[in-house]
Structure 1
Amino acid sequence: MADAPARLGVGMVGYSFMGAAHSQAWRTAPHFFDLPLRPEMTAVVGRDHERVTAAAARLGWDSAETDWRRLLERDDVDLVDVCTPGDTHAEIAVAALDAGKHVLCEKPLANSVAEAEQMVEAAERAAARGVRAMVGFTYRRVPAIQLARKLVADGRIGQVRHVRAQYLQDWLSDPTAPLTWRMDKDKAGSGALGDIGAHIVDLTQFITGEQIVAVTGMLETFVTERPVATASSGLSATGGEETGPVTVDDAASFLARMSGGGLGVFEATRFAQGRKNAIRIEINGSQGSLAFDFEDMNVLHHYDAEEPGETAGFRRIVVTEADHHAYVAAWWPPGHGLGYEHAFTHQVVDLVGAIAAGHDPAPSFRDGLRVQRVLDAVERSAAQGTWLDV
């Protein structure tokens, strides 16, 4: 009988939306994939003892802590998963790496280029000691996105000439929606630009294999004051209640130049009425095009410009074939689609595999820094009203 895989103790900081998604992934991955290490959900961290204890029970963690520094002291924690607001990413990740813990950090990597550079330096110091770091751009791990990357790399659409990328949400369209940390620049770094725009920047660079090298952007805050949540109700009353300033962008748009000479048009907004989580990417090349929409996430559309005009057109590819498409062999029969949560599971699979193999996982902290530099250039460009190199 083969020996059981070695244990990988996981400690997670934060247990809200992203914490729940990451918890589901850590729980699920060992049951569907043959992992070289055995993840154990050792501890979850939150500031409120009662709430984090309840979250540990609900999400499947063995214990709860109220100080993330305790994870660095615990011998049963090998990896720290950072699911907190951006203003804490650098401090937690750098300390964890220096303490010899592997790190998975949510995106965007940091709130500034300077913080991201510090994190890259820590990751590279740690890598020399066999300690690994990865940033959580999970949409890379949607099978249709993996196929898009392969088709571009294989030359199926030729030279990239145009990229159109959108991330559209509407959850802030209501001006009475309460103020949260995501609308506080000190905590979030930026608004739609960093929260969701970071994803389409990363996806574009991942799929095309190119870098965004210059940008000119616009940022807009449509609702500048919002009700402050109260401790008793979680929401403030309407009419005459206390409000607080929104200090981030509600929407971001920018033009870009790609390293291969192509042009890009990017849009990120939390004010697109009716769009809940629409990620749309179209890439036009010299020999064809690709189009993806997360609202139909198991499908990739491909146009081959070499086909005769009589039958030419976009072909709808259902990306669920176990013999050809990334990750899907572990799940369901062809045509039985995957959902939002599966990409987080694939993230765990890839990270655990990289740790066991002794190589740096992707996307690396340096990949996260590249995205951070684009976000920074867009923000500075919007303030200056000019093109800026990244």
Structure 2
Amino acid sequence: MTNSAPAPTNPQNGHPECEPLGVAAIGYAFMGKAHSNAWRNVASFFDVPALEQKMLVGRDPEQVAEAAARYGWAESATDWRQVLERDDIHIVDICAPGWMHSEIAIAALEAGKHVLVEKPLANTIAEAEAMTEAARAARARGIQSMIGFNYRRVPALALAKELIAEGRLGTVRHVRAAYLQDWLADAQAPMTWRLRKETAGSGALGDIASHAIDQIQYLTGETILEASGVLKTFVTQRPGPDGLEDVTVDDAAWATFWLTGDIGASVEASRVATGQKNSLQIEMYGTDGALTFNLESLNELRFLDATLPVREQGFRRILVNEPEHPYLEAWWPQGHIIGWEHTFTHQIRDFLTAVRNGTQPSPSFEEGLNVQRVLDAVEGSAKNNSALTPVDHKSLAMVEGA
């Protein structure tokens, strides 16, 4: 006798427990490749819900089909709206340029899809606010959303977060962060969508300073209240397909901040820092200790215990690859380092766990909107040449526990 009763569902999100989560990704270039690698590998190392890579979406039919086959996706498409019509697609991963984030994310959430979107959340405050409101409404129906600040999933930085929360630094007073790259140092480097304000929103400020800003708030657990900033475009025109084109975003950004908790912070971001390839440097100084980190030494955290006698003090190197360290129990025996791509696998793991448990993953869209407001304050300060600009949190309602 055939049992025709419906499959049991997760009461938190209405998804059949025995049915794999179908995933679609929008975008197949840099971030699309990184995210695809994570979707393909996450279940091999972590206890996550069963998933299927259903569809990869991109504008060029031949290129997206080739990428789908290479990255493990079952199908490809050129119109992202197709994923909204599919009952077998439950998660939409948005790796497209910033100007597309708002429309896709809101439509996907309204269609009942869980949404992961790359940072920054959007190109404008208005778009970010609309996305956040859509996320709140969807959350009430059990639909989850998250923004992809993947450096929260670097094990060394996750360990730093734990040490700070445990009080090992005492009262944090001062934070310095610098994110430096050099891929635009050559004035003849070609024009891309990342150099146009209408597609990218901003330059180094939104692209990489957003990571540093998120880390400052994530690690300290505090909120930026005031900002001052300077933006600079060193190369104002770059070669495009039809000749020289105007660069309409910044090459570099400098900002200082004041946070709740009476913490001062500074951020420097540049895509023209010759010799620096992908160097996110973070320094945190407290009354009882200090931490330093550099992404180019991703597996290392340096910690100083200032409670020791002065004759014994000094920064010590912690090689973060023991099973006791965040995320590392799933990977290799101690002493075997992991890489940049693993941060995306950890991110997908945390997102899938939240979807399975029906809980809000972090960073939420509210947290993404918070960062967006800080970026806006820096840009406003730079435009108006003002020393300090208050960060407008008027409609920000942070998710409890995020």
Q: TM-score range by the shorter chain?
A: over 0.9
Instruction: Look up the match of 2:10.
Output: none
SS of match in other structure, 1:382: helix
Distance 1:302 1:5 in 2: 45
Instruction: Look up the match of 2:399.
Output: none
Instruction: Look up the match of 1:224.
Output: 236
Give, as a single letter, the amino acid of the residue that structure 2 aligns with 1:355. Answer: V
User: Is 1:265 paired with 2:266?
Assistant: yes
Give, as a single letter, the amino acid of the residue that structure 2 aligns with 1:302. Answer: F
Distance 1:93 1:39 in 2: 20
Report matched runs for 1:1-390 at 5 Å.
6-35=19-48, 37-229=49-241, 242-322=243-323, 324-386=324-386, 387-390=388-391
Shift of 1:32: 1.0
Distance 1:145 1:367 in 2: 18
CA gap 1:5/1:288 in 2 versus in 1, 3 angstroms: farther
SS of match in other structure, 1:295: helix
Structure 1, gaps ≥5 residues long: 231-241
Distance 1:340 1:52 in 2: 24
Give, as a single letter, the amino acid of the residue that structure 2 aligns with 1:68. Answer: W
Distance 1:221 1:189 in 2: 14
SS of match in other structure, 1:55: helix
Instruction: Look up the match of 2:396.
Output: none
Distance 2:325 2:17 in 1: 28
Give, as a single letter, the amino acid of the residue that structure 1 aligns with 2:136. Answer: E
Instruction: Look up the match of 1:239.
Output: none
Shift of 1:305: 0.8
Percentage of identical aligned residues: 54
Shift of 1:6: 3.5
CA deviations over 1:144-165 (Å, ceiling 9, x no partner): 0011111111111011111000
Deviates more, 1:3-12 or 1:208-217: 3-12
Distance 2:63 2:313 in 1: 57
CA gap 1:307/1:185 in 2 versus in 1, 3 angstroms: same
Distance 2:224 2:18 in 1: 41
SS of match in other structure, 1:200: helix
Shift of 1:5: 5.5
Give, as a single letter, the amino acid of the residue that structure 1 aligns with 2:313. Answer: A
Moved over 4 A (4+): none
After TM superposition, the score normalised by the length of structure 1 is 0.95
SS of match in other structure, 1:77: coil
Give, as a single letter, the amino acid of the residue that structure 1 aligns with 2:192. Answer: T
After TM superposition, the score normalised by the length of structure 2 is 0.92
Distance 1:127 1:262 in 2: 33
CA deviations over 1:280-333 (Å, ceiling 9, x no partner): 0000011111111111111111111110112111111111110x2111011011
Give, as a single letter, the amino acid of the residue that structure 2 aligns with 1:193. Answer: L
Question: How many matched pairs?
Answer: 375
Give, as a single letter, the amino acid of the residue that structure 2 aligns with 1:155. Answer: G
Distance 2:273 2:224 in 1: 25
SS of match in other structure, 2:341: helix
Shift of 1:4: 8.8
Shift of 1:229: 3.1
Superposition RMSD in Å: 1.1
Instruction: Look up the match of 2:398.
Output: none
Shift of 1:81: 0.4
SS of match in other structure, 1:15: coil
Distance 1:281 1:179 in 2: 30
Distance 1:11 1:260 in 2: 41
Structure 2, gaps ≥5 residues long: 1-15, 392-402
Distance 2:354 2:106 in 1: 20
CA deviations over 1:123-151 (Å, ceiling 9, x no partner): 00000000000000000000000111111
Distance 2:127 2:273 in 1: 31
